[in-house]
């Protein structure tokens, strides 16, 4: 709430903490934050090596997952899943 009030008046607001950076890390790397919030996180990252490492690791992980091919499931998977599902009693009666 306080950060929204500061943003309404285009003020920097209180310094953010590591938890706030982690909470917004996905939005940060996806470039989905407003300019003020992005700048606040950048300022925090300049001072905090742990958060910088967290963001860099998250970026690398996302890039790695995005670049890999999606494996194709075996053709028998659907039948195996269906055979493990409990049978509906209404279907068995009629």
Residue 55 falls inside a structural domain:
yes
Query: Which residue, among 5, 11, 38, has the nearest Cα to 24 in the 3D structure?
Result: 38
- The model's pLDDT over 24-74, given as tens digits with 9 standing for 90+, comes to 999 999 999 999 999 999 999 999 999 999 999 999 999 998 887 878 889
Residue 21 falls inside a structural domain:
yes
Q: What is this structure's pTM?
A: 0.58
Q: Give me the number of domains the chain comprises.
A: 1
Domain containing 59 equals 1-63
Q: Is the alpha carbon torsion for 44, 50, 51, 52 positive or negative?
A: positive
Question: Residue 75 above 70 pLDDT?
Answer: yes
Residue 73 falls inside a structural domain:
no
């Amino acid at each position: 709430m306080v950060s929204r009030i500061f943003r309404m008046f285009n003020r920097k607001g209180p310094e953010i903490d590591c938890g706030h950076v982690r909470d917004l890390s996905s939005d940060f790397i996806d470039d989905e934050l407003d300019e003020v919030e992005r700048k606040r996180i950048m300022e925090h990252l300049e001072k905090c090596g742990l958060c910088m490492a967290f963001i860099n690791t998250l970026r690398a992980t996302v890039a790695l997952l995005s670049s890999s091919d999606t494996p194709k499931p075996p053709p028998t998977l659907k039948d195996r899943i269906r055979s493990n599902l409990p049978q509906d009693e209404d279907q068995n009666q009629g």
